[in-house]
Every structure is written in structure tokens, then in C-alpha cells.
Structure 1
Amino acid sequence: MRELTPEPLTAAAFAPFGSVIEASDAATKIDINQGHAVRYDALAEVDVADEGGRAVISLFRAKPLGELVLRTFERHPLGSQSFVPLGGRPYLVAVAPAGAFDPAAVRLFRAEGHQGVHYRKGTWHHFLLVLEESDFLVVDRAGPGDNCEEVEVELADRIRVRL
């Protein structure tokens, strides 16, 4: 079984899969509310309109896996997805490029509690990998069509996470 150690989540490293949602110096900043707030503008582009889809906001409450082995990946061909942690707790992000799923191409990131992620349409990703129970604000697609494809990773290609 292959092992992966999480790498830090940075905008540059995550760019092939989507965007990092965070208040960083690289973001476009706009003073608003008479100077009492700063808007970190357009951190990710919601892409959900295919086949009559619409954007929805949900709350996910995730629990840790008993054993940190990556067995299943999913992708959403009709819409992008954003996950923003609400409790300030770090979590893990496992992704692979769009196209045919390639377990050798999986990358593993450690996201800090102030960083959200935005997956582009078609990006393979593991479901939420939290280290302790955590809530996430999720921007997702609702509407007609089949927008979730899953792949079960072959036993020999499964990935054990090293922390």
C-alpha cells in the first residue's frame, strides 16, 4: 500500500485542482463598509449551471475516519464544489486530476483551519478528511442530472495517510 504525507495547502500547489479560499495577500482586496471591513474578492468561481443546475449553500458535519486509508474518490462533472471550515480546525484534502482516475496522481494536502478549498468540475477528490469532528459551509450544485461519480480504489492502489 502506498503512503502519503500531507503537504501544506498553498494556492500554487492546489491550482491544478481548483482554488484555495483564504484571506491572503495574493487576493484582490477591496475596502468596504466605510472602511470597517475588507472584501477578499472572487476567491473562487462557482460553476454549476450545466444542465439547469443552481448554486446551493449547505452545512456538512464531518467525523474522522477510523483508519486513514484512502479507498474511494468522487468527482462532480456538472458543477464545482467549495468547502470552508467553520471551526478553525485543520483537515486533509486528497485530490487527483480530472479525466480517468489515476491513483498514482493523488496528492494530499494539509489545510489549516482558515483555508477552504474549491474543486473545479471533474476534479477527483476524497470526501471530507477531518482530524476531529468539524463543520463546513459548502457551496455546491443542485438540479437535474447525475453530478456524482465514484470510483473504488483497487486494494493494491489504496493510500495510507501518514501524519
Structure 2
Amino acid sequence: MSTVRTKTITPSPLNAEAFSAYGDVIENTGSPDKIINQGKCGRFHDRANLDFGTGQAGISLFEAEARSLPYVVDMVERHPEGSQAFIPIDGVPMLVIVADDRDGKPVNLKAFISQPGQSINLHRGTWHGVLAPLDKAGRFVVVDRIGDGTNLEEHWFSDPWTVEVTDT
């Protein structure tokens, strides 16, 4: 009889520096790059690196059920043919799970919690958890690759991970 071991990770607030190896944090920080619309609108220009091997960019709408902490991660996925951006419509925070790649397998899982006004764009080929709005359901605009061919790889963990806030 095998014993399932659960590994625990503690989420961090999402920030551009800590997330840079996995993707872009999309937010309007600093001054706008351009002022448009007769001076009434600040444009924060080109905030994500969209990257598609084949196909084209598409915009989809997702409705995701609420998740809560502690949260069990038993599977991650990646998209080898394109980046994937998640933009919350309702301002619901997201639990963002990412992992490094070692020889085609996810390792060193990390967890982030988005703050109001933050969206993410996952780099092409980045291991990541499923869309997980925290504490209430959420609607999201998703910009990702639309095209023929396989663009999804899944990895199921024999020993799941648990994301929880720990007392330190």
C-alpha cells in the first residue's frame, strides 16, 4: 500500500519581478505610455508578450467556479503553441500556480494571489494550474492561441501539492 504525501506551498502576493520567469503581470503601474481620446484616457501600452507558434490570437470568455484555501493541486498543464492571458472582469482575485520545467516535467511549484487590477499572461510552454478565482466565482477574458493541432499537455502528480496560508 503506497502512501500519498502532500507537499505544501504558501502563496505570495503576485508581483512582476517574482512572476517574470513564468509570464507577465498586466497592470497599469506608473504613468501612462500615451494620453489618447482628447486627453481623457491614459493608455498603458503593450503590457504582455503574446507569443504564438502557429494559429492566431483569440479572445474567449470564461466563467470559473470559486476555489478556496487550502487548495489541492493534483494537476498542472501547459500550452506549447501559445501564451495565455487571464483578465478578470469582476475583479475577483486569482490563485495562480506555476512551475519550472525540468526535462519536460513540472518542478518547484509556486503560488501567487493576484491583487485588484492585476491580470496575467503566461509565457508559452509555462506549467500552470487551472483557472482558480478565490472565494467567489469569476468571469475572465482569456487571450490565447486559436488554431489546429495539439496545444495542451497535462501533468498529474502522484503526490499532490496543497496551497495554504501557514503561520510563521
Deviation (angstroms), 1:161: 1.3
| Residue identity (%) | 38
Partner deviation per Cα, 1:101-150 (whole Å, 9 max, x = no partner): 233x1110010131000001100000111111001100010111110000
Partner deviation per Cα, 1:37-59 (whole Å, 9 max, x = no partner): 000011002112x23x0110001
Rg larger in 1 or in 2? 2
Deviation (angstroms), 1:65: 3.9
Which runs of 5 or more residues in structure 2 are unaligned?
1-5
Code of the aligned partner of 2:163: V
Give 1:122-161 correspondences, 5 Å limit: 122-131=125-134, 132-155=136-159, 158-161=160-163
Indicate conservation of the 8 Å contact 1:98/1:122, yes or no: no
- Residues 1:38 and 2:42 aligned together: yes
Name the count of aligned residue pairs.
Answer: 157
Give the TM-score normalised by the residue count of structure 1: 0.90
Code of the aligned partner of 1:122: G
Moved over 6 A (4+): none
Which runs of 5 or more residues in structure 1 are unaligned?
none
Give the TM-score normalised by the residue count of structure 2: 0.88
Corresponding residue for residue 95 of structure 1: 98
